[in-house]
Structure 1
Amino acid sequence: MVTRIGGLATGMDIDTMVLKLMQAERAPLDKLNQQKQSIEWKRDSYREVYSQFLTFRNSAFDMKLQSSYLAKQATSDDETAVYASATAAAVEGNHEIKVTQLAKSAMLNSGSALGVNNRSATMSQLGLAAESTLTVAGERGVTAIQVKPTDKISDVVANINNKARLTGVTASYDETLDRFFFNNALTGADSKIEIKSTNAALLDTVMKLPGSASQTGKGQTITMGRAYAGGLLDRVLTKPEGSTSPLPDQKLRLVHDNMTYDFVIKESTSIGDLIDSINSSDLGKLGVSAQLNSDNKLVIFNPDDDKPIEFQEISSGPQLDDVDLLVDLGVLTSSGTSAITSVSNQDYSKITVNGINANIEYNGIPVSYKTNSFEINGVSFTARNLTSQAVKISVANDTDKVFANIKSFVDSYNALVESVNKKTSEARFRDFLPLTAEQRKDMKEDEIKRWEEKAKSGLLKSDTILTGALQNMRNSLNNAIGGLPANSLNQLLQIGIKTGNYMEQGKLYIDETKLRKAIAEQPDQVMAMFTADDKDRNTDRADGLAVRMYDQAERIMNQLKETAGTSLSGPTDYLQGKELQRLEDRIKAMTTRLTAVEDRYYRQFTAMEKYINQLNSQSAWLAQQFSTKQ
Structure 2
Amino acid sequence: MPIRITGMGSGLDIDKLVTDLMKAERMPLDTLKQKKTKITWASDLYREINTKMSTLKNALDKIKLTADWKDYKATSSNEYAVTATSAAGVPVGSHSVEVKQLAKGATITGNALASSFDPKTPLGVEGTLTIAGVETPIAYSANDTLTDIMNRVNSSSSGVKMAYDELKKQISVVTKETGSAVTLSISDSKTTDTGPVPGDLFAKIGITSTAATGQDAEVIIDGTTVKPSKNTFTANGITYTFKQENTTSTIQISGDNEGMVKQIKDFVEQYNSTIELLNQRVKEKKYRNFEPLTDDQKTDMKEADITNWESKAKSGLLGNDDILNTALRGMRDIINDTVSSLPSEYNALFKVGISTMPYNSNSPNDSGKLMIDEEALKKAISEDAGSVVGLFSNYPEGIANKLSKRVNDSMTQLVDKAGGAGTPSDSVTTTLGLRINDMNKKIETLNDRISSREEYYYKMFAAMDSAVASNNSQLNWLMQNMG
Give the TM-score normalised by structure 2: 0.69
Aligned to 1:25: 25
Matches within 5 A, 1:218-367: 287=187, 300=191, 341-343=193-195, 348=200, 349=203, 350-352=207-209, 357-363=215-221, 364=223, 366-367=225-226
Cα offset for 1:477?
7.4
Distance 1:6 1:172, change over 3 A: farther
CA distance in 1, matches of 2:296, 2:478: 48
| Matched-pair contact (CA < 8 Å) for 2:89–2:387 | no
Match of 1:165 among 155, 173, 177: 155
- Listed as ranges, the gaps of 5+ residues in structure 2 are none
Is 2:127–2:199's contact at 8 Å kept on the other side of the alignment? no
1:604 counterpart = 2:457: no
**Which residue identity does 2:270 align to in structure 1?**
S
Post-superposition offset of 1:83 = 0.8
Q: 2:130–2:187: 8 Å Cα contact kept in structure 1?
A: yes
Q: Tell me: CA distance 1:19–1:485, structure 2 relative to 1, closer, same or farther (3 Å).
A: closer
Q: Is the partner of 2:371 in helix, strand or coil?
A: strand
What is the CA-CA distance between 1:147 and the residue it aligns to?
A: 2.8
Counterpart CA distance in 2 for 1:582 and 1:357 is: 71
2:371 is matched with which residue? 509
Distance 1:114 1:191 in 2: 36
Match of 1:591 among 441, 447, 456: 447
Q: Which of 172, 176, 185 is matched with 1:186 structurally? A: 176
Query: Structure 1 residue 604: deviation in Å?
Result: 0.8
Q: Please identify, of 137-146 and 106-115, the stretch whose mean Cα deviation from structure 2 is larger.
A: 106-115
**Structure-1 separation of matches of 2:312 and 2:208:** 80
Letter in 2 for 1:566: G
Kindly provide the amino acid, as one letter, of the partner of residue 351 in structure 1. T
- When the two chains are superposed, the root-mean-square deviation of aligned CA atoms in Å is 5.3
Give the whole-Å Cα distance in 2 for the aligned partners of 1:498 and 1:523.
18
Q: Deviations over 1:190-219 (max 9, x none)?
A: 89999xxxxxxxxxxxxxxxxxxxxxxxxx
- Residue 532 to residue 359, structure 1, CA distance change in 2 (3 Å): closer
Letter of the aligned partner of 2:271 in structure 1? Y
Asked whether the equivalents of residues 434 and 455 of structure 1 are also in contact (C-alpha less than 8 Å), the reply is yes
In the TM superposition, 1:34-433 aligns within 5 A as 34-56=34-56, 73-87=73-87, 95-104=95-104, 106=107, 111=112, 114-115=115-116, 131-133=124-126, 136=129, 141=134, 142-148=137-143, 156-166=146-156, 167=158, 168-170=160-162, 184=174, 186=176, 188=178, 287=187, 300=191, 341-343=193-195, 348=200, 349=203, 350-352=207-209, 357-363=215-221, 364=223, 366-376=225-235, 378-389=237-248, 391-393=249-251, 399=257, 402-421=260-279, 423=281
Secondary structure of the corresponding residue to residue 455 of structure 1: helix
Aligned residue for 2:44, secondary structure, equals helix
Q: Is the 8 A contact 1:89 1:377 kept in 2?
A: no
Structure 1 residues 44 and 188: CA distance shift in structure 2, 3 A: same
Number of residue equivalences: 460
CA distance in 1, matches of 2:84, 2:340: 38
Please state how far the C-alpha of 1:598 moved relative to its aligned partner: 1.2
Deviation at 1:453, TM superposition (A): 7.1
| Structure 1 residue 41: Cα displacement | 0.6
Give the letter aligned to residue 520 of structure 1.
S
Contact map agreement 1:476 1:549 (CA 8 A) in 2: no
Task: Describe the shift of the 1:18–1:490 C-alpha distance in structure 2 as closer, same or farther (beyond 3 A).
Answer: same
Q: Which of 345, 349, 353 is the aligned partner of 1:496?
A: 353
TM-superposed deviation, 1:22: 1.9
Aligned to 1:521: 383
Structure 2 distance, partners of 1:599, 1:71, is: 77
- 2:277 alignment partner AA: S
TM-score (norm 1): 0.56
Q: Deviations over 1:1-40 (max 9, x none)?
A: x997754544666455433432343244223312321221
Distance 1:366 1:572 in 2: 62
Q: Equivalent residue for 1:566?
A: 419
Aligned residue type for 1:35: K
Instruction: Indicate conservation of the 8 Å contact 1:360/1:368, yes or no.
Output: yes
For 2:262 and 2:455, the matched residues in 1 are separated by: 70
Is the CA contact (8 Å cut-off) linking 2:342 and 2:391 kept in structure 1? no
1:61-112 Cα offsets, whole Å, 9 max, x none, are: 8766666779665444433311112346979976543212234564757836
Q: Any stretches of 5+ residues in structure 1 without a counterpart?
A: 195-284, 290-298, 302-340, 536-542
Match of 2:310 in 1: 455
Distance 1:84 1:479, change over 3 A: closer
Distance 1:480 1:144, change over 3 A: closer
Give me the whole-angstrom Cα distance separating, in 1, the residues matched to 2:164 and 2:300.
74
Pair 552,157 (structure 1): closer, same or farther in 2 beyond 3 Å:
closer
CA contact (8 A) 2:125 2:141 kept: yes
The 8 Å contact of residues 57 and 554 in structure 1, kept in 2 or not, is answered as yes
Give the structure with higher Rg (CA).
1
Cα–Cα, structure 1 residues 113 and 422, in superposed 2: closer, same or farther, change >3 Å? farther
Whether the aligned pair in 2 keeps the contact of 1:90 and 1:379 (CA below 8 Å) is yes
Offset of residue 495 of structure 1: 1.9
CA spacing shift, 1:379–1:482, aligned 2, 3 Å: closer
Q: Which moved more, 1:582-591 or 1:21-30?
A: 582-591
Q: Secondary structure at the match of 1:385?
A: coil
